[in-house]
Chains A and B, each alone.
Chain A
Amino acid sequence: SYDLTQPPSVSVSPGQTASITCSGDKLGDKYTYWYQQKPGQSPVLVIYEDNKRPSGIPERFSGSNSGNTATLTISGTQVMDEADYYCQAWDSSTGVFGTGTKVTVL
């Protein structure tokens, strides 16, 4: 099976940059998607096709994908960005989610 690995947690100070990695075999050959999930809420798409932002997602969210690693970057992190983040990709038409990263803003 195909696995996507993320760091369990990332801490960042308000206004600083948070980077969340997602690692998988030849992940750069696939599109990576990123979701934000706040407690008690459904996930929300923040990045699609590696680096595209859906309408309504702030410009401080950006993404990249190369080699075996995709990265979600939050520039000028705000307290409201504190949440769990999941990467996602498709492998042979099977959906795969990353292990998830809890972003703490303090």
Chain B
Amino acid sequence: QVQLQESGPGLVKPSETLSLTCTVSGGSINSYYWSWIRQPPGKGLEWIGYIHYSGTTKYNPSLKSRVTISVDTSKNQFSLKLSSVTAADTAVYYCARVGGYNSHFDYWGQGTLVSVSS
């Protein structure tokens, strides 16, 4: 059974960079696409972007200028960096596996709350 676990700071200061890592267990990160999704408190889901194990990436146009997603196949991990954060970036951040190209999100992490505050 594939499991995903997000890790990283729960508090980030405004204008700084948010950094999160997703560790995949129970399966290889090779093959499949891997995605980041976020959900502000009390609001809906927002897709941030995905990465293929080969390194190919695609980002939400609304966040593209601030987002970088990378992969470390040796550690079975992929990571998210979001720069120049503001309070509007406060959200629960989920990592998820994409079941195929342009397919469904079939495995999700438990999510981690990241607050942006000084």
A61 within 8 A of B: no
> How far does the alpha carbon of A85 sit from the alpha carbon of B44 in the complex, in Å?
10
A-B contact count (CB 8 A): 57
Binding site for A on B (CB under 8 A): 35, 37, 44-47, 50, 58, 60-62, 94, 99, 102-106, 108-111
Checking A33, A43, A86, A94 against B108 with a beta-carbon cut-off of 8 angstroms, the contacting residue is: A43
Binding site for B on A (CB under 8 A): 1, 31, 33, 35, 37, 42-45, 48-49, 54, 86, 88, 90, 93-100
> How far does the alpha carbon of A46 sit from the alpha carbon of B108 in the complex, in Å?
13
Residue of A nearest to B109 (CB): A42
Residues of B within 8 A of A35 (CB): 45, 105
Find the residue from A43, A49, A86 having the highest chain B CB count within 10 A.
A43
Find the residue from B60, B99, B104 having the highest chain A CB count within 10 A.
B104
> Are A94 and B106 in contact, CB atoms less than 8 angstroms apart?
no
Checking A31, A43, A49, A99 against B105 with a beta-carbon cut-off of 8 angstroms, the contacting residue is: A43
> Are A95 and B110 in contact, CB atoms less than 8 angstroms apart?
no
| Chain A to chain B contacts (Cβ below 8 Å), 21 pairs | A31-B103, A33-B103, A42-B94, A42-B108, A43-B45, A45-B104, A45-B105, A48-B103, A54-B106, A86-B44, A86-B45, A88-B45, A88-B104, A90-B102, A93-B58, A94-B47, A94-B58, A95-B35, A97-B45, A99-B44, A100-B44
> How far does the alpha carbon of A48 sit from the alpha carbon of B46 in the complex, in Å?
18
**10 tightest CB-CB pairs across the interface, nearest first?**
A95-B47, A42-B108, A90-B102, A97-B45, A48-B104, A100-B44, A33-B104, A93-B58, A45-B104, A86-B45
